[in-house]
């Protein structure tokens, strides 16, 4: 079950929330950027170990 199903909202409703709430958009965009960077770094042949430190450390 994806987050839209869990929260019972539509893609348009999520988009509206993100459009209307810059702080929410910034937080989510930051995590998306981390995810994309992890994918890029994991694809480097010499990389054998990745770690993400806790956000509160």
The CA-based angle 23-18-6, given to 5 degrees, is: 110
1-57: pLDDT as tens digits = 999 999 999 999 999 999 999 999 999 999 999 999 999 999 999 999 998 888 886
For the chain, the structural domain boundaries read: 3-42
Q: How is residue 35 written in tokens?
A: 């995810």
Helical spans, DSSP H, in 1-57: 3-7, 11-20, 22-42
What's residue 31's pLDDT?
A: 94
Tell me the whole-structure pTM to 2 decimals.
0.76
């Amino acid at each position: 079950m994806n987050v839209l199903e869990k929260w019972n909202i539509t893609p348009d409703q999520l988009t509206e929330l993100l459009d209307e709430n810059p702080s929410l958009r910034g937080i989510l965009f930051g995590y998306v950027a981390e995810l994309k960077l992890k994918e890029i770094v994991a694809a480097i042949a010499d990389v054998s170990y990745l770690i993400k430190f806790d956000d509160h450390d």
